[in-house]
Amino acid sequence: METQQNHLTIPIIKIPQGRLGMWVLIAGELVIFGGLICFYLLNRIRYPHWGDMAAHTNTFIGALNTVVLLVSSYTVVRAHQAALKMDVAKVRLWLSCTLLGGILFLVDKSIEYAHEISEGFTFTSPKLVAAGDHVGSLFWSYYYIMTGLHGAHVLAGMTVMLIILIQTRKGKNMHRVELAGMYWHMVDLIWIFLFPLLYIAK
């Protein structure tokens, strides 16, 4: 069926199907995050007090996570290069490195969350609400929903990468390495926006 279809229907724009689908998916995802970032910015301009709240986020861990994600983006590019050469061993090595980066990111994030929660900054922040600081508690709601949604995307990217790691064991589905890489870059790119907004702009 595959060969018959390739033989008989000639694509006019010669983009591999999976890559095109991934671009459309990424476009859809960016609008979701774009919306969230817009809401955040509107509220940030409205409430200068949010700057005081952003001071409580851990810039060091945030910066560390930025570096981790950027490095893992590099390793996934190496995996893609290896996949183009059909070098199974290298693909698996670099994909594992990327997975490790994802794990490191989530570990850092968990330490950070644990620290913030222990200080009373939770999704609803009852401590701040009890102290009458409603606007401050709203910052933490946004913080958790933005980083949480991003974290869910990290987890999704890692799951996909794990599946591909298993599939490539026998050299199958090597073209999917590129697709996972594209998704991973998107996750990275979104973090590049979240990091200054939530950690640096105090």
Partner 1 sequence: MENLHQNKSFWSKYVFSTDHKTIGTQYMIMGMIMAGVGGYLAYVFRYNLAFPGKSIPFYGMLGPQAYNAFVTIHGMIMVFWVGMPVLLSALGNYLIPIMIGSDDMAFPTVNMLSFWIFAVSALVLIASFFVPGGAFGGGWTMYPPFSAQGYVNHNPNFFTALFSGTSLLILAVALELVAMLMGGINFLVTTINKRAKGMTPWRIPVIIWFINIAAVIFMFSVGPLVAGAFMLLFDNVLGTGFYDPHRGGDPMLWEHLFWFFGHPEVYVLLLPSLGVLAEIVPVFSRKPLFAYKTVIYLALLSAFLSVLVWAHHQFVAGIDPRMATFFSIGTILISIPFAGIFLSYMATLWGGSIRMKLPMLWAIGFIGLFLVGGLTGLFLGSNTFDIYAHDTYFVVAHFHYTLFPDIFFGFFAAFYYWFPKFTGKELNAKLGKWHFWLTFIFFNGVFFLLFFNGLAGQHRRINDYSSFSLISREPYQTFEQIATVCAIGLMLSQFIFLYNFITSFRKGKKAVKNPWESTTLEWQSDSPPPHGNFNPYPEVHRGAYDYSLPEAKEDFTPQNVPNVN
Six token digits for residue 47? 């409430």
Closer to partner 1 by Cβ: residue 29 or 52: 29
CB of residue 44 to partner 1, shortest distance in Å: 12
Determine if 40 is a binding residue for partner 1 (CB under 8 A).
no
Nearest to 181 by CA among 40, 57, 76, 30: 76
Six token digits for residue 71? 């490095």
Separation between Cα atoms, residue 137 and residue 158, nearest integer Å: 31
Q: Kindly tell me which residue out of 27, 107, 156, 201 binds partner 1, with binding defined by CB under 8 A.
A: 27
Restricting to residues 137-156, name those near partner 1 by CB under 8 A: 137-138, 141-142, 145, 149
Alpha helices in the chain (DSSP H): 2-8, 17-46, 50-54, 59-84, 88-118, 126-130, 134-167, 175-195
Write out the residues near partner 1 by the rule CB under 8 A.
1, 4-5, 8-13, 15, 17, 20-21, 24-25, 27-36, 38-39, 42-43, 47, 123-124, 129, 134-135, 137-138, 141-142, 145, 149
